[in-house]
Structure 1
Amino acid sequence: MKQNLTITAATLLIATLAACSNTKADTSGTPASPNAAKHSSTTKQDSTASKPLTAGTAFDQISASVTTAKLSGTVTAENDPNDLLGRPSQYTSKITFSDSRISADDVIGTDKGDIERGGAIESFATAGDAKTRAEYIQTVTKSMPTLTEYDYVQGTTLVRVSHYLTPKQAGEYKAAAANLE
């Protein structure tokens, strides 16, 4: 009886391993979809298209529509004021930008790269991480009007926009973010 159980368990284990080896491994940390086996033969071009956008790529797309936005910096692990870049569930890339519609008088005393000067784009490994970050920012800034901002989540990308822009101006970023590919 014991030998039959051992043989049965070994057979199930081998069958399970064989079934798992027929699909590509997903190293992104995202659970595989039920249709993973259907898409296991995607081309290299198809597989890169499904990767989350980097903050720089998202900015390139957004600034094509919002021409007043100018790149002001790329955040690295060495210069990240929040020490979040690459940390678990935090952004995987981040850029900052200025917007020429914001008056220099409004941002006296702020540093290059501060949200008040225009905004920032943060990219995440998952859409859930981007949403969680946006919710956190809104919670923290809710009671501090000088720190409020417009936050737009599109997939794995969070677009943060200065409160010095009017709702209509900020809406341009929202519309551009909605078209991120």
Structure 2
Amino acid sequence: MHRTTSAAASAVAPVVALLTLLTACGNAPSHSPADAREPDRASTRTVGRPTAHGVFQALSAKVRTAALTDTVTAENDPNHLLGRPGEYTSKVTFSDSWVQASQVTGADPGAVERGGAVELFADASDARARAEYLRGIAKSSPALDEYDYVHGSVLVRVSRYLTPKQAAQYEAAAAGLG
């Protein structure tokens, strides 16, 4: 079910415009199997919608220390949220070279503390709800704290091991998306 409001629609429009521009620049074809929701992992869009991969490409063009680590699928999603009602429709994880390896010893390869994640939602209210949920968890367990930036239907999650100045680069890049 899609909830449509003029505020949500106006918040999503700049993201769609940016990703349309990125798509026009062309992408290399993918030769690996992909989740049904992302028929081409290199694509910035699924049937008319931006993807987390496309958003990450735009972010990493501005934050050069970020490197893609994984595209989350229904089969490998540790949270089992991909595609569920009100949850993310697309997700990628990334590492950041500013994060010291000694800080994340033992963390899973796709863990947010290694760099971050981009989660894309059907609408802005779902993205805000997810960010509020994550902030609630962090309040009860400071070890799970992170930087969360919501812009339209995009949630950019960034490692707590980054300094506020480093994390601000992700915030600025995300703000440029929507």
TM interval, short-chain normalised? 0.7 to 0.9
CA distance in 2, matches of 1:146, 1:32: 36
Query: Which amino acid in the other structure matches residue 157 of structure 2?
Result: R
Equivalent residue for 1:166? 163
Query: Normalising by structure 2, what TM-score?
Result: 0.74
Larger Rg: 1
Report the secondary structure of 1:88's partner residue: coil
Equivalent residue for 2:3? 30
Equivalent residue for 2:64? 67
Report the secondary structure of 1:142's partner residue: helix
Query: Which amino acid in the other structure matches residue 29 of structure 1?
Result: H
Alignment deviations for residues 79-130 of structure 1 (CA, whole Å, 9 cap, x no partner): 0000000000000000000000110000001010000100000000000000
Provide the identity percentage: 57
Report the secondary structure of 1:173's partner residue: helix
Deviation at 1:178, TM superposition (A): 0.3
Runs of 5+ unmatched residues, structure 1 = 1-27, 34-44
Equivalent residue for 1:25? none
Residue number among 48, 54, 57 corresponding to 1:57 in the alignment: 54
Deviation at 1:30, TM superposition (A): 3.3
Deviation at 1:146, TM superposition (A): 1.3
Equivalent residue for 1:142? 139
RMSD of aligned Cα (Å): 2.0
Q: Does 1:85 align with 2:82?
A: yes
CA distance in 1, matches of 2:174, 2:90: 16
Deviation at 1:32, TM superposition (A): 7.5
Query: Which amino acid in the other structure matches residue 91 of structure 1?
Result: Y
CA distance in 2, matches of 1:142, 1:32: 31
Deviation at 1:53, TM superposition (A): 2.6
Residue number among 133, 149, 172 corresponding to 1:152 in the alignment: 149
Query: Which amino acid in the other structure matches residue 80 of structure 2?
Result: D
Tell which has more relative contact order, 1 or 2 (C-alpha 8 A, sep 6+): 2
Check the 8 A contact 1:52/1:156 in 2, yes or no.
Answer: no
Report the secondary structure of 1:168's partner residue: helix
Deviation at 1:142, TM superposition (A): 1.2
Report the secondary structure of 1:152's partner residue: strand
Runs of 5+ unmatched residues, structure 2 = 7-15, 21-47
How do 1:114-129 and structure 2 match up within 5 A?
114-129=111-126
Query: Normalising by structure 1, what TM-score?
Result: 0.73
> What count of residue pairs does the alignment treat as equivalent?
141
Check the 8 A contact 1:119/1:160 in 2, yes or no.
Answer: yes
Query: Which amino acid in the other structure matches residue 127 of structure 1?
Result: A
